């Protein structure tokens, strides 16, 4: 069952929206895991809810196959997980746990959403039990695209408020990524280059993280195959 839900943000009192899917087998008294899917730049909550695309279909299929409560939030449009988006996702998780019997909370996303899923995981590791990121990034300080959107969301540029960018850059906080991590990136991606994710994966390996899955496709661009998107989701479900 799909519903288009809204809530009043505790951050600024505005109405915010997310799409909610309850599994076919849903029963109020039964414990369910949650999968939250974060859309890419230029899109909204409907991307992971209804649009065609490998990553979007894979997330919906995984949610259905594993009887997950599936949530696709707006999280402030092109927010790049700025303070308002961060607060909204925290509130969504809190309200889901109040409304349903929730066990694990899993997070996924593509492109900007892939970057934001890693960012949220280092900001709030206590809330997340597994992360799957496709074509994301792990360093907002070095990233050069979408700077106007980031400035608006963060409240300033990198030179003005570097800590806002650093706090959201997973590469600087590998020790906070205690949950299973799945990442899929592509070598010819110029929109969201893979370099920071590749470095993060190497650091996680170096510090002995037991549950990291990296899928690197050197000849692909800003895209992820259905098989790869599904594989990293299956991985975090299995390992979390």
Between β-strands 15-21 and 2-8, what pairing exists: parallel, antiparallel or unpaired?
antiparallel
CB of 222 closer than 8 Å to CB of 111: yes
In 10 A of CB 21, how many CB atoms?
A: 21
Given this model, what pLDDT does residue 31 score? Answer: 97
Across the chain, what does the average pLDDT equal? 98
Average pLDDT over residues 91-116: 98
**What CATH number corresponds to the domain at position 221?**
3.40.50.1820
Average pLDDT over residues 40-51: 97
Encode pLDDT of 109-119 as tens digits: 999 999 999 99
User: What is the number of structural domains in the chain?
Assistant: 1
Q: Which domain holds residue 111?
A: 2-239
- Report CA-CA distances (Å) from 17 to 71, 91, 92, 156: 10, 12, 10, 25
Q: At what angle do helices 54-65 and 226-239 cross, to 10 degrees?
A: 40
Kindly tell me if the per-residue pLDDT of 20 is higher than 90: yes
Whole-number CA gyration radius for the chain: 16
Encode pLDDT of 181-225 as tens digits: 999 999 999 999 999 999 999 999 999 999 999 999 999 999 999
Average pLDDT over residues 36-64: 98
Task: Collapse the DSSP code of 74 into the 3-class scheme (helix H, G, I; strand E, B; otherwise coil) and give the result.
Answer: coil
**What burial letters (b/e) apply to 192-229, b meaning 16+ CB within 10 Å?**
bbbbbbbebbebbeeeebebbbbbebeebebbbbeebb
Given this model, what pLDDT does residue 1 score? Answer: 87
Query: To which H or E segment does residue 147 belong?
Result: helix 147-154
């Amino acid at each position: 069952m799909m519903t288009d839900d809204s809530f009043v943000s505790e951050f600024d009192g505005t109405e915010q929206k997310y799409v909610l899917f309850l599994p076919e087998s849903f029963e109020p008294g039964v414990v369910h895991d949650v999968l939250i899917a974060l859309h890419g730049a230029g899109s909204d909550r409907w991307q992971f809810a209804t649009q065609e695309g490998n990553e979007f279909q894979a997330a919906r299929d995984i949610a259905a196959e594993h009887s997950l409560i599936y949530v696709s939030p707006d999280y402030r449009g092109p927010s790049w997980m700025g303070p308002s988006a961060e607060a909204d996702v925290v509130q969504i998780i809190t309200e889901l746990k109040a409304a349903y019997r929730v066990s694990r909370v899993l997070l996924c996303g593509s492109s900007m959403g892939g970057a934001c899923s890693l960012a949220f995981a280092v900001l709030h590791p206590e809330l997340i039990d597994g992360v799957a990121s496709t074509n994301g990034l792990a360093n907002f300080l070095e990233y050069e695209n979408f700077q106007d959107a980031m400035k608006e969301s963060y409240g300033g540029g990198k030179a003005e408020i570097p800590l806002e960018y650093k706090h959201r850059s997973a590469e600087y906080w590998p020790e906070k990524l205690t949950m299973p991590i799945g990442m899929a990136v592509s070598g010819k991606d110029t929109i969201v280059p893979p370099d920071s994710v590749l470095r993060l994966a190497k650091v996680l390996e170096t510090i002995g993280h037991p549950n990291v899955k990296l899928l690197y496709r050197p000849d692909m661009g800003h895209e992820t195959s259905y098989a790869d998107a599904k594989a990293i989701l299956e991985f975090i479900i299995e390992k979390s």
